[in-house]
Amino acid sequence: MSEYVRLERTGPIAVVTLANPDRRNAQTPALWRELAGIGRSLPGDVRAVVLRGEGTSFSAGLDRRLFPGGGGVPGEAALTDLAELDEAALDAAIAAFQEAFTWWRRPDLVSIAAVQGHAVGAGFQLALACDLRVCADDVQFSMLETSLGLVPDLAGTKPLVDLVGYARALDICVTGRRIGAQEALALGLATSVVPHADLDKAALETAEALIRAPRDAVVETKALLLGAATRSYDEQRAAEREAQGRRLRDLLGAGE
């Protein structure tokens, strides 16, 4: 890990910390590469991952030094450099960035974002990448990409629409307005809201509660719920039967 990302483990729970508080945990492609690498290298016995940001903000989004006139980040391409790529190369570059945001919902683990202060743009999308969001009472979500002439492209639009619906997602993205803790809770963006001082404790307690059930049952249940939005009612019932059949055979030792 770099000085700006930490990975710590306590048994089956891993904690990933964005550790650049002086820049409000602003994000760069280097950070995304590290997060993607964590997802690829997590040991198989990890069952829950807590994602947190050090300091007053979870993440203020893309490092503004990457924008035109921002001075640049050593070793990183500026947005103007990306714009000069051909279509295939640009698609591949953005797809590589998205890898940092896509592994958090895989069926074999449960992820919890502990979100305080600003969660802006890429920071908002990173929180949306997780299964659950435990939020401090000072949280401020905002999706500023459209206001800057861009679009949210870090895999955040699907979970946002799933959580709040199309109309509210359009409002959030196009206006770029701030969403505080109580509105986030009412919309379903926040799973729970706690005092800022209690955030880390609440996130870890949530992780501990989520791993009390047998691992295979959690994996099957999560896969069922993740697929529910794309299945018809009858298809979902069939998926439930298949999953329960696997669980019964496993619990009773049938078919060995």
Residue 145 appears among annotated catalytic residues:
yes
**How many angstroms separate the CA atoms of 53 and 208, rounded?**
19
**How many angstroms separate the CA atoms of 63 and 57, rounded?**
14
Cβ neighbours around 248 below 10 Å, total: 10
State the Cα torsion 71-173-146-112 to the nearest 10°: 30
Cβ neighbours around 31 below 10 Å, total: 23
Give ∠ CA 116-126-31 in degrees, rounded to 5: 100
Q: Which of 8, 76, 145, 183 is catalytic?
A: 145
Cβ neighbours around 172 below 10 Å, total: 22
Token couple for 107: 């069926």
Active site residues: 145
